[in-house]
Amino acid sequence: MAVDLETREAGWQQDLERAGLLRRLLRARKWHGADWWFVAIASVMVVAFIVLALFPGFFAPHDPREQVGPRFLAPGEKPDVESLIIPGDSGITSLLDIVGDERVPTAVVEGTPSSQAARDEADRITQVLQDRGEDVRLRLRVQRHDTIQEALDELVAGDAVIAVASSAAFDEVADDYPSLDVAGPVFEGQTLSSFLLGTNQIGQDVLSRLIWGTRIALIIGFSASFFSLFIGVPLGLFAGFTGGKTDRVLTVFMDSLYAFPGLILAIAITAVLGPSIINVIVAIAVLYIPTYYRIVRGQTLSVKESLFVEAARSLGAKSRVVLTRYVFPNVIPSVAIIFSVNIADAILTGAGLSFLGLGLPPTTPDWGIDLARGQETIQRASWLITFPGVAVMLVVLAFTMMGEGLMEIFNPKLRDR
């Protein structure tokens, strides 16, 4: 009877264990309340950033290093470019479609750069065609008008095949000419569409640079943290476990490293090593080795003295077994938590370094570099400094929130560190 009861109890426990991981994670919110939500929200953000960093080419609308639009275009503002206006039913999509022997009648407005732009592009196309060995030319017969309405009227009347005008000017009167369309920008490579987050001082797309910058930020954050983890954790384990002189020497060394102001040390290291992403990672990693070392050494010292280690020794366990099966698994949870907060720190330091012009080559799409450049033109184009700043803040917030939340959940004893 008693055995029967106990087996039933054990079965019930196994049922609980069989509940899926996802369901258990979901249920955990009842225990941990706000911390659970912190971790959940932060994890979603972290995952989103990681996806962005893995596939920046998929999400970024433009090449982050190319000039893709006019300079200093505000977020959402339409660029004002010379554009090709055609009757909606003409089938013309670019100047290439009207190449031929005849001079093409082109309506422009007197006193605007439109006629010059049209002729320049026509000459360029002619040059390209002749370079290809085709004996054709594109020649325009420019017909000047006083107002854009006159020019467009001529186009509607059929006296001109195309018109060239600035897109802003056309937009103002576009409603009056429903039969006319914008075929595209006159110059190949220019765009008529607006940029979600604007463009910077050399016409690069801010959004694309942000997305590609995520990759740089996460590479620096993760690599630097892994680097310091792989050096700091074994050193801490070793020092804490062996104790004695080695421990003292290592600890003094690590403490002196820890006592340095972080950014200053990183600046010194990158200044010596020279600009490259590897050097930035090394510099930041050196900065954070003592963090892991101290935590792991402290935990090792306390676990080493715990009764279960003594009990294991009394059963003949060797030092290697004690270290790998007793000390290490009991130390590693606090390392995992520090790791997450550490990534946030490393990203921030990395951005700080490139903001100061150290570390990364200047063409890199990096938040720190964008911040430094944006700062020069903050009064003219505040979006250049706002969006990279927000990006840094969000990433750091996500990782810190996740780390701190996990710390609250898994290791309340570490709370006051």
Partner 1 sequence: MRDVVYSVRGLSVEYPTREGSTRAVDDVSLDIHKGEILGLVGESGCGKSTLGKSLLRMQSPGRIVEGELWFGGRDLMTLGERQMQKLRGRNLSMVFQDPMTSLNPVERIVDHIVETVQTHEPGVSEAAARDRARDLARRLGILENRIDDYPHQFSGGMRQRIMIALALALNADVVVADEPTTALDVIVEAQFLDLLRELRDEFDLTIVMITHNIGVVAEIADRVAVMYAARLTELATVDRFFAETRHPYSQGLLRSVPNIDLDEQSLSTMSGAPPSLLYPPPGCRFHPRCPHAMEVCTAEQPAMADVGPAHEAACWLYLDHAGSPPLEVVSDA
Q: Interface with partner 1 by CB under 8 A: which residues?
A: 6-7, 10, 13, 306-308, 310-318, 321, 325-326, 329-330
**Least gap, CB of 315 to partner 1 (angstroms):** 4
DSSP state of 326: I
- Which backbone phi and psi does 200 adopt, to 5 degrees? -100, -165
Q: Which tokens go with 18?
A: 């069989």
**Least gap, CB of 299 to partner 1 (angstroms):** 13
Task: Indicate the residue among 18 and 132 with the shorter CB distance to partner 1.
Answer: 18
Whole-number Å distance between alpha carbons of 332 and 249: 23
Task: Indicate the residue among 201 and 330 with the shorter CB distance to partner 1.
Answer: 330
| Cβ pair 214, 56 in contact under 8 A | yes
**Least gap, CB of 323 to partner 1 (angstroms):** 12
**Least gap, CB of 305 to partner 1 (angstroms):** 11
Whole-number Å distance between alpha carbons of 267 and 280: 9
Task: Indicate the residue among 320 and 415 with the shorter CB distance to partner 1.
Answer: 320
DSSP state of 199: B
Burial 129-166 (b: 16+ CB within 10 A, else e): beeeeeeebbbbebbebeebeebbbbbeeeebbbbbbb
Query: How remote is the C-alpha of 210 from its chain's centroid?
Result: 5
Task: Indicate the residue among 13 and 193 with the shorter CB distance to partner 1.
Answer: 13
| Cβ pair 41, 401 in contact under 8 A | yes
**Least gap, CB of 14 to partner 1 (angstroms):** 8
Q: Which residue has the tokens 């940029």?
A: 195
Give the DSSP letter string of 20-86.
-HHHHHHHTHHHHTHHHHHHHHHHHHHHHHHHHHH-HHHH-SS-TTS--S-TTPPTTPPP--EEEEE
**Least gap, CB of 412 to partner 1 (angstroms):** 16
Task: Indicate the residue among 6 and 255 with the shorter CB distance to partner 1.
Answer: 6
**Least gap, CB of 331 to partner 1 (angstroms):** 10
**Least gap, CB of 360 to partner 1 (angstroms):** 41
Task: Indicate the residue among 193 and 314 with the shorter CB distance to partner 1.
Answer: 314
**Least gap, CB of 330 to partner 1 (angstroms):** 6
**Least gap, CB of 362 to partner 1 (angstroms):** 49
- CA 7-13-16 angle, to 5 degrees, is 145
Task: Indicate the residue among 208 and 300 with the shorter CB distance to partner 1.
Answer: 300
Task: Indicate the residue among 6 and 376 with the shorter CB distance to partner 1.
Answer: 6
Task: Indicate the residue among 196 and 312 with the shorter CB distance to partner 1.
Answer: 312
| Cβ pair 337, 403 in contact under 8 A | yes
Residues in CB range of 309: below 8 A, 6 or more apart: 303, 322, 326, 327
Alpha carbon separation from 41 to 26, 45, 341, 343, 390 (Å, rounded): 13, 6, 15, 17, 17
Task: Indicate the residue among 28 and 356 with the shorter CB distance to partner 1.
Answer: 28
**Least gap, CB of 358 to partner 1 (angstroms):** 43
Look at residues 253, 243, 334 and name the one whose alpha carbon lies nearest to residue 295: 334
Sign (positive or negative) of CA dihedral 143, 144, 145, 147: positive
Task: Indicate the residue among 4 and 102 with the shorter CB distance to partner 1.
Answer: 4
Whole-number Å distance between alpha carbons of 323 and 239: 12
3-state secondary structure of 19: coil
